[in-house]
Structure 1
Amino acid sequence: MNVKQITVLSSAAPLILLSTASAFAQPGVATGAVNVRTGPGTGYAKVGTLSAGELVDVKQCQGSWCFVDRNGGTDGWASANYLQPVNNQPAPSEPDIPFNFGVTVGPGGPSFSFGIGDAPPPAPVPVPVAPEVCFYKNMGYSGAEFCVPAGTVDNQLMGSWNDRISSIKLIGGAQVQVCEDWWSGGSCGVITSSKPNLGVYDNVISSFQTW
């Protein structure tokens, strides 16, 4: 079954797409320059940059990141905040089949709905969010940032991040243990909810492990 027109219910929301197979890839466009990385987070290596207006095929999304198939350049993960859906126009000989697609962003994370034909789309279904922990140099989740998936252990924070973390955001039910010294030494604490202000652990974290 071919789709002639895609109607986006909320173009202002970040692009949230679901792909269970390559046949469900959605066309998207970059709204600005954004890095392409090897994984869904700023902690992964950069492999390229999308330019504003670049057209891509969005294969799947995980949390606030989407895997993009590029016509030119290396494929990889890009922030969904810099992607928007575009209309897909097939050959004129293809039948006209209405298709609707909706995005809802709520306290539990993003959800999507879609339908074929004139009937309204079904109720949104929550999209699973991969557990992830994001660290910030400033309070209130601002300043420089890096994110890691659950199961990451860093026993020696190096360079500009050692004793420089001031807020932590937890995504998808992730948790993190932070310690004042390397190799889980000194005072340690377990964080189970996002902290815009780390209190006694502000600018003293030297090692951590997530789950």
Structure 2
Amino acid sequence: MNIKHITAVSSAAAVVLLSTAAAFAQPGIATGAVNVRTGPGTSHAKVGTLSAGELVDVLDCQGSWCFVDRNAGTDGWVSANYLKPAAAQPAPGPSKPDIPFNFGVTVGPGGPAFSFGIGDAPLPAPPAPAAPKVCFFKSTNFSGSQFCVSPGDSNPTLAGSWNNAISSISVEGGAQVTICKNSWYGGMCTTITTSKSSLGTYDNAISSFQAL
């Protein structure tokens, strides 16, 4: 093998070695000013100086010495006591912190209740569902004198000023009410499941009821 061929092989090996080393390079930062040398030890010639805070790529380490690839200046060996891992740098460009968003829905007897929040605070408690009840009013649009009952309450004979005097009924919390035109649930009857601001043919014509 002639000298030219040996040189070519050596150069190719060096390229492969450096390429492999570059693939496993680790970013480092100089903790202080330190000499850069041609080999791993103080007996080797000085070829430069790392300044404190200078960023390098660490390609190889032997004992307490590491070979560094510098962005500016001659590459070489420095004491590992003057190197530390460099923290990963964020990608350039504006960034916005994520804002947590939460949303909840609760379905109860009175229908769905919604809640939402922004940030890390817990969701506020949804409003308590309305208690089931039925309210009777002497005037339309839920106005005038009123009285309310709960499911299970009934009156077979509305007496006094309430007999044939109801003009609107509100129903809350999933309650229902059966109203009849005659006492003891006689005559024409109907069951109401939603609030009625006016009662049509039952206006001022109710003499008994059963809340459900």
Q: TM class, shorter-chain normalised?
A: 0.3 to 0.5
When you count strand as a share of all residues, which structure comes out higher? Answer: 1
Higher relative contact order by CA 8 Å / sep ≥ 6: 1 or 2? 1
Which structure has the greater CA radius of gyration? 2
When you count helix as a share of all residues, which structure comes out higher? Answer: 2
TM-score, normalised via structure 2 length: 0.43
TM-score, normalised via structure 1 length: 0.44
